[in-house]
A = this chain, B = another copy of it.
Amino acid sequence: MRSYAGRSAEERRTERREKLIEAALELFGTEGYAATSIEKLCATAGVSTRNFYQEFSGREDLLLAVHGQITERAVAGIAELLSSLENAPLAVRISKAVTEYVRLTAGDPRVARVAYVELVGVSQTVEEHRLSWRAKWSALMEAEAARAASRGEAVTRDFHLSTVAIMGAVNELVYHWSTKRTDASRETVTAELTRLIMALLTVP
A→B interface (CB under 8 Å) = 32-35, 117-124, 127, 160-162, 164-173, 176, 183-184, 188-189, 192-193, 195-196, 199-200, 203
Are A172's CB and B176's CB within 8 A? no
Distance of A178 from chain B, by nearest CB (Å): 12
Q: In the complex, what residues of B have CB within 8 A of residue A184's CB?
A: 160-161
| Whole-angstrom CA separation of A5 from B127 in the bound complex | 45
CA distance A123 to B164 in the complex (A): 27
- Please tell me if the beta carbons of B123 and A34 are within 8 angstroms of each other in the complex: yes
Q: List 20 A-B contacts (CB under 8 A).
A: A32-B124, A34-B121, A34-B123, A117-B127, A120-B120, A120-B121, A121-B122, A160-B183, A161-B188, A161-B192, A162-B196, A165-B173, A165-B193, A169-B169, A169-B196, A171-B172, A172-B172, A196-B199, A199-B199, A199-B203
With a cutoff of 8 Å between Cβ atoms, the chain B residues found around residue A195 in the complex are 200, 203
B172 x A164 contact (CB < 8 A): yes
Shortest beta-carbon distance, A204 to chain B, in Å? 9
How far apart are A127's CB and chain B's nearest CB, in angstroms?
Answer: 8
Q: State how many angstroms separate the Cβ of A55 from the closest Cβ of chain B.
A: 23
Residues in B with CB closer than 8 Å to A118 are 121
7 new A-B pairs (CB below 8 Å) besides A120-B120, A168-B168, A196-B196?
A: A32-B124, A34-B121, A35-B123, A165-B169, A195-B200, A196-B199, A199-B203
A161 to B192, CA, bound (A): 7
| Contact B168 A170, beta carbon cutoff 8 Å | yes
Give the nearest-CB partner of A126 in chain B. Answer: B34
Known contacts A121-B120, A123-B34, A124-B32; A173 and B196 CB within 8 A of each other: no
Tell me the complex Cα distance, A200–B168, Å: 15
Q: How far is the CA of A173 from the CA of B166 in the complex (A)?
A: 9
Question: In this complex, what residue of B is CB-closest to A195?
Answer: B203
Whole-angstrom CA separation of A120 from B113 in the bound complex? 11
Report yes or no: A172 in contact with B167, Cβ–Cβ below 8 A: yes
